[in-house]
Amino acid sequence: MAERAYTDAELEAAIAAIADPQRLREAQDLVTRSAPALARVLATALEEGGWFDMGHNQAVREATGHDDYGERVRAVRTMLAEETRLGMLVGVAVGFELARELERPRRRRQASPSNPMSSEAPGPSTSPGAPGSQTTEED
């Protein structure tokens, strides 16, 4: 099944929807349960992207190498803010991919011989109630 691009309006509406405190708590609970595995994926993505290689080490040396205490604090804060932003962006990318992966079994369950438009054939364990399938309230 081909992925589609989201419009700016769709993204804005989705962001507004997840800003709801209850939905945010639910998402935080999900992430908390998955934190160790997600942290490994994020660390791998950052490492493979070269985000924390020799350039990072150089930035740390530069930020902490200022003679003036105030300048050193400002440089470290700036570096931390940039690294936080980067981690968040990579984390969002990981989250998008995780959402796609979680949707794959659902799409397979919904695929049927009466749905010739589906490019994914249902697997033996992807029908509702089959071992290994996940049932949600929406099912």
Give the residue-averaged pLDDT of 6-17. 90
What is the distance between the alpha carbons of residues 123 and 129, in angstroms, rounded to a whole number?
Answer: 13
- Is the pLDDT at 129 greater than 60, yes or no? no
The pLDDT assigned to 42 comes to 87
Residue bearing tokens 């934190």: 35
Instruction: Give Cα 82 distance to the centre of its chain.
Output: 18
Collapsed DSSP state (helix, strand, coil) of residue 94: helix
Structure tokens at 25: 């708590």
What is the distance between the alpha carbons of residues 108 and 6, in angstroms, rounded to a whole number?
Answer: 22
The pLDDT assigned to 81 comes to 94
Instruction: Give Cα 108 distance to the centre of its chain.
Output: 22
